[in-house]
Amino acid sequence: MLAVGASLPETTFSLLKDGEMVTLHTNELFGDKRVVLFAVPGAFTPTCSHAHLPGYVALADKIKAKGVDDIMCLSVNDAFVMDAWGKASNADEIMMLSDGNGAFTQSVGMDMDTDTFGGVRSVRYSMLVEDGIVKAIHVEDPGRFEVSDAETMLKSL
């Protein structure tokens, strides 16, 4: 599992930008930047939609005021779903990243098999990344939402 001090693995992510599919590499997203990334098990799911993403939407300005360049939400969903979820959640300040095949999630050891719920998904976590290096990470215990929320991240900045 990913730990403080680790470098993020080189992989690709997808997102929709102005209606077009864009593929970005790890170094493009995290190199020479200070980034908050939070990951959720699935777009439009209850805790993710009612608490996790809305918390980051509400505190985006305060988080960025602490010197954060970008706030990213990651899920093992396709880019179209992530885009629709971001729009439905007024997440204009959040980059909605797709890890569609779960490659990043699996490479950092944050994957879980949800069986019939959706197959391989991400555990719930948040992290602060500076220049591609993990500076802080908050991983939730299964079924919990206590440490990866926006308020906890803001306090840790």
Give yes or no: 73 in active site. no
pLDDT confidence of residue 114: 75
pLDDT confidence of residue 119: 66
pLDDT confidence of residue 121: 80
Which one of 16, 48, 108, 139 is the catalytic residue? Answer: 48
Residues of the chain falling short of pLDDT 50? none
pLDDT confidence of residue 46: 87
For every residue of the chain, DSSP letters joined together read: ---TTPBPPP-EEEEEETTEEEEEEHHHHHTTSEEEEEE-S-TT-HHIIIIIHHHHHHHHHHHHTTT--EEEEEESS-HHHHHHHHHHTT-TTEEEEE-TT-HHHHHTT-EEE-GGGTSEEEPPEEEEEETTEEEEEEEPPTT--SSSSHHHHHHH-
pLDDT confidence of residue 150: 98
Tell me the domains of the chain and their CATH numbers. 12-156 (3.40.30.10)
The three-state DSSP-derived secondary structure of 76-109 is: CCCHHHHHHHHHHCCCCCEEEEECCCCHHHHHCC
